[in-house]
Amino acid sequence: MALVRKKVIYELKGVVSAGKESRVYWGKGFDGEDLAVKIYLTSSAEFRKGIIKYIRGDIRFDSYVPKSSKKLMALWARKEYKNYCLLARAGVSVPQPIAQHQNILVMEFIGESGVRAPLLKEVELSLSDYEGLFYAILEDIRRAYLKAKLVHGDLSEYNVMVWQCRHYIIDVSQAVRNDHPNAHDFLMRDLRNIHKYFTKELGLNIPPVNKLFEYVVGNVDNI
């Protein structure tokens, strides 16, 4: 495969996660480094319907949505790779993107010896560590909006990994530019998800969602 020829992937070791539309593998690079390799599988009609709104309305991609499933999955992998690059460049804590070819995305592996780091949903921390984590994630949502000009669009306790006292925001294929017609709705939904998890599930006392929104979009400088 091209990514082997290009000396990006030396070998694939095991499956980290098998979703309906994509599979994430633990791989090794040519220098023995761990890699996460996300491979998009063929798309179902349902998946196609679900993702169209994240492609249309994003000026980086014209409104043309490929008919062929293969092309659509390659577009989706390219979108995720580009989003990862923009976020990483803006200083948002994400796995470092490494390469993309067709429907395959290669990035830094978060975890150790092929065992992925836990998701935010799966960790158990002290209340004060959770509080620190919440504000670190909020800063990243703001950095994403103001610097990378992106809104995640599917943020929740399932799309944040926690590793060595640091969080990593993942799963950014659906992220859209902040001038997308639905960007503010997506941002409100992201903030509501995160707010709900930290308040209802973890019992943290944090400002209401509308205040978080004003802070993230830069209308106020403090929270």
Does residue 42 touch ligand ATP according to CB under 6 A? no
Single out the residue of 51, 74, 106, 110 in contact with ligand ATP (rule: CB under 6 A): 110
Residues 158 and 170: their CA atoms lie apart, in Å, by 9
How many other CB atoms are found less than 10 A from the CB of residue 96?
Answer: 12
* Single residue of 29, 57, 66, 111 touching ligand ATP by CB under 6 A: 111
What amino acid positions are annotated as catalytic residues? 154, 171
**36 is an interface residue for ligand ATP by CB under 6 A:** yes
- Residue 174 token pair: 């659906």
Query: In terms of DSSP bridges, do strands 176-177 and 150-151 run parallel, antiparallel, or are they unpaired?
Result: antiparallel
Q: Label residue 188 exposed, middle or buried (CB < 10 Å: 0-12, 13-18, 19+).
A: middle
174 binds, among ligand ATP, Mg ion, none (CB under 5 to 8 A by kind): none
Give how far the C-alpha of residue 8 lies from the chain's centroid of Cα atoms, to the nearest Å.
21
CA 68, CA 70: separation in Å to the nearest integer? 5
- Residue 156-195 contact track with ligand ATP, rule CB under 6 A, x = bound: ---x----------xx------------------------
Contact letters for Mg ion, residues 129-168 (x by CB under 5 A): ------------------------------x---------
